Chains A and B, each alone.
Chain A
Amino acid sequence: AQTVTQSQPEMSVQEAETVTLSCTYDTSENNYYLFWYKQPPSRQMILVIRQEAYKQQNATENRFSVNFQKAAKSFSLKISDSQLGDTAMYFCAFMKTSGTYKYIFGTGTRLKVLA
């Protein structure tokens, strides 16, 4: 069975600084997808970034980028130039490319951006 671990329950960062959230996972699958979702206080789940396991290149979306290390089963999220609006819970999610396509979520990291 797959598991996703987020070892940082809470983090804080100064506005405009850079922060990295960690995520590790365990799987025997070779093909899969990884996602980072953001859940602000409004509780809406917002897709931040996605990574296909077969792609070696790390995904980037504006200020957000990932460091995907397939052999180490690590998928960290880097947020550059942090903004107050980045304050939220961040969830890492794993999805197989077969079967039901359901997500396995990590326990989340609460990020607070300080003014």
Chain B
Amino acid sequence: GAVVSQHPSWVICKSGTSVKIECRSLDFQATTMFWYRQFPKQSLMLMATSNEGSKATYEQGVEKDKFLINHASLTLSTLTVTSAHPEDSSFYICSASLTAGQGYIQPQHFGDGTRLSIL
């Protein structure tokens, strides 16, 4: 159980295009979804936290207009990198969690990540 699907796994596109990454919780309803960015040989950097039906909360230094996050349902969140440039090339990972009542907190379940390369 607790499977998170992320698509696409790898995308290459030209500078200036927008790229959408999908994150789906396949067998549970995710109260909260998280988007991370990971540079080579480094840790995961949280970009934003999204709750279904509300605006995402972005971490300091993350451009809201650059990285658009939509969490339209309890099973789907999307990250759109707008007008992507080579410096946006990175590995992006989503995660999802379900908090089922006070005292029981599930760990985050991660997607397999998306390798984004901007030419």
B113 proximity list for chain A (CB < 8 A): 43-44
- Interface assignment of B97: CB less than 8 Å from any CB of chain A: yes
Report the stretch among A11-19, A20-28, A62-70, A104-112 that lies at the interface: A104-112
List which A57-76 residues lie within 8 A (CB) of chain B: none
Q: Which residue of B lies closest to A50 (CB)?
A: B107
Q: Which B87-108 residues have a C-beta within 8 angstroms of A? A: 91, 93, 95, 97, 99, 105, 107-108
Contacts of B49 in A (CB 8 A): 100, 102
Most chain B C-beta atoms within 10 Å of own C-beta, residue among A35, A37, A42, A105: A105
Chain B interface size, under 10 / 10 to 19 / 20 to 34 / 35 or more: 20 to 34
| A103 nearest CB across to chain B (Å) | 6
Partner of B108 from the list A44, A103, A110 (CB cut-off 8 Å) is A103
Interface residue stretch chosen among B14-22, B40-48, B65-73, B74-82: B40-48
Given contacts A43-B91, A105-B44, A106-B43, contact A100 B32 (CB under 8 A): yes
In the complex, which residues of chain A have a beta carbon less than 8 angstroms from the beta carbon of B99?
A: 101
Bound form: Cα–Cα A18–B42 in Å = 25
From A42, A44, A101, A106, name the one whose CB has the most chain B CB atoms within 10 angstroms. Answer: A101
Closest residue of B by beta carbon distance from A49 = B107
Chain B interface mostly: strand
Bound Cα distance from A95 to B108, whole angstroms: 10
Decide if A91 is an interface residue (CB 8 Å cutoff): yes
B43 close to A43 (CB less than 8 A): no
A31 and B110 alpha carbons, distance in the complex (Å): 23
Across-interface contacts of A105 in B (CB, < 8 A): 43-44
* Most interface-central of B42, B43, B57, B112 (chain A CB within 10 A): B43
Interface residues of A in 80-115 (CB under 8 A from B): 91, 95, 97, 100-103, 105-108, 110
Residues of the B chain whose Cβ atoms lie less than 8 Å from the Cβ of A46: 110
3 tightest A-B contacts by CB?
A: A45-B110, A105-B43, A100-B49
Binding site for A on B (CB under 8 A): 32, 34, 38, 41-44, 46, 49, 57, 91, 93, 95, 97, 99, 105, 107-110, 112-113
